[in-house]
Structure 1
Amino acid sequence: MHSDNRAENLFFEADKLIEENRIVEAKEMLLELLSEFPDYGRAHNHLGWLYNMKFNNYPKAKNHLELAIKFAPDYHAAYSNYSYLLIDMYLNDEMITFGKKVIGRSVVDKSTIYNKMGQAYELKGDFVNAHKNYKLAIKETINNKAVDAIYASVSRVRKKMSLMQRIKLINQ
């Protein structure tokens, strides 16, 4: 984290602009901040989120979220935002690899990581591993809406499984 007040002030101003849905202004402010402080990880996170969610520019989003994780490894939001992006990009193998790499870190939202790994496995047609990761996601969440959504994923995956896959689950 930068001790420089200017960086902090620009970041919080950009964050406020995002909250006010002043997206273009927020993007410009974040770009200005990064031109002065290129290793300000939280700004990379916000810019990556904007490029994914508001501008649908996956390559720029991916670049900024990777820089966010590199420069602000203790900033939890970057891991979740990167996971969402990888699923949005159908980079399922990359999501599984990323999830396995970061799941042990104390700063990550384990429920989100397991859930996104479950989605990656499901999209690959590996319903047994999808089921396993969804169940791990349920264990890690304390949010009722999230639990309900993940249970819906468990149910959906079970419906997609063959009889042999369901028997394998019972025997685990």
Structure 2
Amino acid sequence: MDAYYTIEEKYLRAVDKLSYGKTTKGLKLLNEIISNDPLYARAHHQLGMIYYYEMKDYQTAGYHFKTCMELEPSFPDNYTDYLDLLVFLNMEKTVHTVSVKALNTPGADTAGVYDLLGLFYEKNKQWTKALDAYQKAFMEVTDNTEKTDIELSLKRVQSKMKQTQAYNYHVTE
């Protein structure tokens, strides 16, 4: 059995296992960390990712993402994954609360946050807000692939806006 001297070493070992696709071993190490130190925020973040993306256990994932945010609000990596879950679950009030915190956290992916807000508004057929959020995402993005995705989102929302506009006919002589 491996002996780890610090909780950080065990955490790094768990992240390493996860990066090599060894989810079961990483999950075991992360649960050991939480049982020894329930206030270790980054372990909660990793557990949230496993439960959301791998196990599709959204309630448990939400618990871990929220716990991470409460324990370490300055940890920027947590916000995008947590918002992704909240948008997926269409949790309006929490989406707004978490997005405001994310946009005020140094190092958080602002383009990603605006992109997720755009998706949230688009799913709820709030075209103007969606367009505004996607435009903000476009102004923040630095990755070409993400830029292309945001441009497609902008076009998609504009197309939906045109489809929902009422037709007005005027008779002219």
TM-score after normalising by structure 1: 0.88
Q: Which runs of 5+ in 1 are unaligned?
A: 166-172
Counterpart for residue 16 of structure 2: 16
Counterpart for residue 168 of structure 2: none
Report the identity percentage. Answer: 25
The Cα offsets for residues 53-111 of structure 1, whole Å up to 9 and x where unpaired, read as 00000000000000111112222110111011112223244323321343122232111
Cα 1:132/1:5, change in 2 over 3 Å: farther
Q: Which runs of 5+ in 2 are unaligned?
A: 166-173
Counterparts of 1:22 and 1:83, CA distance in 2: 25
| Aligned partners of 2:76 and 2:102 also within 8 Å | no
Counterpart for residue 47 of structure 1: 47
Counterpart for residue 74 of structure 1: 74
> Quick one: which amino acid aligns to residue 62 of structure 2?
K
Counterparts of 1:6 and 1:109, CA distance in 2: 30
Counterpart for residue 127 of structure 2: 127
The Cα offsets for residues 24-70 of structure 1, whole Å up to 9 and x where unpaired, read as 11111101001001111111000000000000000000000001111
Counterpart for residue 105 of structure 2: 105
Matched, 1:86 2:86: yes
Counterpart for residue 27 of structure 1: 27
- Compare relative contact order (CA 8 Å, sep 6+) and give the higher one, 1 or 2: 1
| Runs of 4+ that moved beyond 3 A | 162-165
Counterparts of 1:41 and 1:142, CA distance in 2: 28
* Larger Cα-atom Rg: 2
Task: Provide the aligned C-alpha RMSD in A.
Answer: 1.8
Q: Secondary structure at the match of 1:161?
A: helix
Counterparts of 2:162 and 2:101, CA distance in 1: 30
Shift of 1:113: 0.7
Q: Secondary structure at the match of 2:106?
A: coil
Counterpart for residue 153 of structure 1: 153
Residues matched between the structures, number? 162
Counterparts of 2:88 and 2:5, CA distance in 1: 35
Counterparts of 1:98 and 1:5, CA distance in 2: 35
| Aligned partners of 1:121 and 1:127 also within 8 Å | yes
| Aligned partners of 1:119 and 1:130 also within 8 Å | yes
| Aligned partners of 2:45 and 2:65 also within 8 Å | yes
> Quick one: which amino acid aligns to residue 26 of structure 2?
A
